[in-house]
Amino acid sequence: MPSRYSAHLSEIGTTVIEELTERNRDREQALSVSREVIRFSANAIRAVHRGAYDDAVDQLLPIRYRTHRLGGSHAQRDIIAWTLLEAALRAERFKLARALANERTAIKPTSAQNWRYTARALKGLGDDEGAERARAMAASLQV
């Protein structure tokens, strides 16, 4: 004969199983995203080392908004963003480079590095005057 606690214990067991199943599902989803970000990042690094900058851009562009899922500091995530931006510049994809540099500069307008990237992108687009203004801004921010 079941004790008076059997039904309650069964409910607790069901709740625990449901919660653990949900946690496991979330963990598996996070692992999947992490694997994808790491794989694309590793392929991009190899492409940069080969001088295949277009390939590096194509690897990093789809994951650039997912890098936060890996954790780490903002500086560590900046490395991926800077690699993408540098690869775009070296691949002479100057419109993309300008958009990436403008995005970074809008987020952190006090960064001399962001203004130097903006200057390089503008120079690549033939906007010498804009490039000079961006270089001057970078110089004014350096201490």
What is the residue whose two structure tokens read 């990042």? 41
Q: What local confidence, expressed as pLDDT, does residue 56 receive? A: 96
- How confident is the model over 124-135, as pLDDT tens digits? 999 999 999 999
Domain residues of the chain, as ranges? Answer: 1-80, 92-143
Torsion sign across C-alpha atoms 39, 76, 74, 110: negative
- How confident is the model over 15-51, as pLDDT tens digits? 877 787 777 777 777 677 778 888 888 999 999 999 9
Give the pTM: 0.76
- How confident is the model over 65-83, as pLDDT tens digits? 887 776 667 777 788 899 9
Q: What local confidence, expressed as pLDDT, does residue 119 receive? A: 98
Mean pLDDT to the nearest integer, 89-118: 96
- Spell out the long-range contacts of 89-92 with Cβ–Cβ below 8 A and sequence spacing 24 or more: 89/117, 89/120, 89/121, 89/124, 90/53, 91/53, 91/54, 91/56, 91/57, 92/124
pLDDT band at 84 (very low <50, low <70, confident <90, very high): very high
Q: What local confidence, expressed as pLDDT, does residue 3 receive? A: 66
